[in-house]
Amino acid sequence: MPTVETLTKRPDFLRAARAARAPAGAFLVQARKRRKDEGVSPDLVRVGFTCSKKVGNAVARNRAKRRLRAVARAILPLEGRPGWDYVLIGRANETAARPMEAMMADLSRALRKVHT
């Protein structure tokens, strides 16, 4: 299983924003295959999480990101591809309300869509 690492730098998020997108029910997935010259190990799967103020106040945004992190921890080691960056973007009133099993199925479906 590939190692999953968290995206922290803004340029990584901006590069992912220009890449493929797949709506996934309670969130949006952006995914891109990294180039070899970026200086990152090709064996890593990297993932970032973000929620805008449309999701709610700080408490609501943090709750949504915690749920996105839990879904990513469960699915990305199994279905994420090494050498790819993923960004999960929370949606207002949906990320916090959708059942976790449905969110996991949504992420799996979105990853299949992005990789085809």
Q: DSSP letters along 36-92, please?
A: GGG-S-TTEEEEEEE--GGG-SHHHHHHHHHHHHHHHHHHHHHHPPTTEEEEEEE-T
pTM of the shown model: 0.93
Q: In percent, how much of the chain has pLDDT > 90? A: 87
Tally of CA atoms within 13 A in the half-sphere of 110 that contains its CB: 27
Q: What is the pLDDT of residues 43-95, one digit of tens each?
A: 999 999 999 999 999 999 999 999 999 999 999 999 999 999 999 999 999 99
- The token duo for 65 is 């990101």
Question: Given 1.10.10.10, 3.30.230.10, 3.40.50.720, 3.40.50.1100, which CATH number is that of 3-115?
Answer: 3.30.230.10
pLDDT value of residue 74: 95
- Copy the structure tokens of residue 64: 């949504």
Q: Where are the domains of the chain?
A: 3-115
pLDDT band with cut points at 50, 70 and 90 for residue 29: very high
